[in-house]
Amino acid sequence: MTPDEAVAAAPVAAAPRRRAAGDPVKTLLHRHRALCEQAVDPLEIAAGLEARGITDRTAARFRHRDVFSLAEELYARTPRGHEPAEPAAARPRDARALRGIGLALLPGAAALAAAAAALPYAGALAVAATVAALARPSATGRAPRGRGSLAVHLAAAAAAGWAVHRHGTPLGVALALAAAPGHLAAAAFAARARRRLAASRALEDFAASARPLLLAGAAAQTAAAAGAAALAGAPLAAAVPLAVLLFLARLLLCHGAPWPPVAAALAVAAVPAAPAAPAAAAGLLALALPVLARASAHTRT
């Protein structure tokens, strides 16, 4: 090789190293390839990155203004062997929604029927129906599973069972009746949060818009629980905080929150003291505000 040829070849050999160093997103793409390949849209990637500790400030180091912008580039640069699957038809989704509402109505219907028939174990049946409602999948398609689910269900049974033992069957009926509006409030929260996530351009913006949605859902469930207590003839002070606590417990678990704090809050509600259930509900709401304001809590399954 002549000296001129050697000089001409040197920059070509060094070029790939310069491009790799000047392309920080490429390293991130390799590190999170599975997430990027399985995502159905950039929002899934943004939520997954947030769950792995990448914030808008971190995204700036990758030359992006926020995680959403970074996720869009990752999604665009991820090779795919096929086009994303077409969304499910509206009719099957409507059928699933109707089926979900029907299942949500079952606990209240069963509790009312047992109380009307004056069955000797109507209160226990109402508690069982209320606790079973915690296992229904939410609008996200998720439901509590595994050993954590068992711990939560046992704690919920203890809290509701003790309350019904103290205040009678009408309280159990009220809790069961509150399951249906709780299902609707949770579905509305999930749908609205998903729309806010799609419209957001920064994680902080989404968190700021998601918290009022959660507070509105909790307020709606509070009103529904008060109506259910009035219909069943149960004391408001006992029925409302417990119904809100069960609503928040199911909402947290179905959105992927860790189960130990949820089980602990339910266990606190089982303490035989009047302030226990309101304190547990307030504590779980304080936990839910930051957890459910994360984008990663609203990914599809």
222 domain-assigned: yes
Q: What is the pLDDT of residues 267-277, one digit of tens each?
A: 999 998 989 99
If asked whether residues 157 and 248 sit together in one domain, one would say yes
The pLDDT of residue 88 is 43
On whether residue 1 sits in a domain, the answer given is no
- Residue of higher predicted confidence among 19 and 232: 232
Reported as a pLDDT band with limits 50, 70 and 90, residue 154 is very high
Of 159, 183, 41, 33, give the one whose Cα is nearest residue 105.
183
In-domain check, residue 28 = yes
In-domain check, residue 260: yes
Looking at the structure, tell me whether residues 157 and 251 fall in a common domain: yes
pTM, 2 dp:
0.75
Torsional sign, CA 190, 133, 108, 275: negative
User: Does residue 87 or residue 130 have the better pLDDT?
Assistant: 130
Query: What pLDDT does residue 54 have?
Result: 85
Is the same domain home to 150 and 267? yes
At residue 18, does pLDDT exceed 90? no
pLDDT tops 50 at residue 85: no
Rounded Cα distance, 228 and 37, in Å: 46
Whether residue 50 is found in the same domain as residue 98? no
User: Which one has a higher pLDDT value, 71 or 141?
Assistant: 71
Confidence band for 76, pLDDT divided at 50, 70 and 90:
confident
pLDDT of 94: 56
Of the residues 54, 72, 87, which one is the last residue of a structural domain?
87
Question: What whole-number percentage of the chain has pLDDT above 70?
Answer: 81
Same structural domain, 74 and 24: yes
pLDDT confidence bin for 33, thresholds 50/70/90: confident
Mean pLDDT for the chain overall: 82
Residue 151 lies in a domain: yes
Greatest mean pLDDT among 10-14, 113-117, 202-206, 231-235 lies in: 231-235
Cα dihedral 74, 75, 79, 80 in deg (nearest 10): 160
Taking alpha carbons only, the member of 143, 197, 174 closest to residue 277 is 174
- Considering only CA atoms, give the Rg of the chain: 25
Cα–Cα distance measured from residue 133 to residue 105, given in angstroms and rounded to the nearest whole number: 10
User: What's the number of domains the chain is made of?
Assistant: 2
Residue 207 lies in a domain: yes
pLDDT of residue 7: 36
pLDDT number for residue 251: 92
Domain-terminating residue out of 66, 87, 108: 87
Is residue 81 located within the same domain as residue 96? no
Same domain as 101, residue 69:
no
- Which structural domain, as residue segments, surrounds residue 30? 19-87
Specify whether 69 is located in the same domain as 184.
no
Domain-embedded: residue 7: no
Q: Examine the fold and report which residue of 67, 87, 107 is the final residue of a domain before the chain moves on.
A: 87
Would the pLDDT of 125 be above 90?
Answer: yes
pLDDT at 211 over 80: yes
**Is the same domain home to 99 and 129?**
yes
Q: Contact at 8 Å (CB) between 237 and 274?
A: yes
The CA distance from 250 to 229, in Å, is 20
* pLDDT for 150 beyond 60: yes
Cα angle 135-148-270, degrees, rounded to a multiple of 5? 80
Lowest-confidence pick of 24-38, 103-117, 187-201: 24-38
Domain match, 176 and 281 both: yes
Same domain flag for 69 and 99 = no
* Same domain membership, residue 72 and residue 94: no
Query: What confidence score (pLDDT) does residue 218 get?
Result: 97
The DSSP secondary-structure symbol of 66 reads S
| Residue 135 CB neighbour total at 10 angstroms | 15
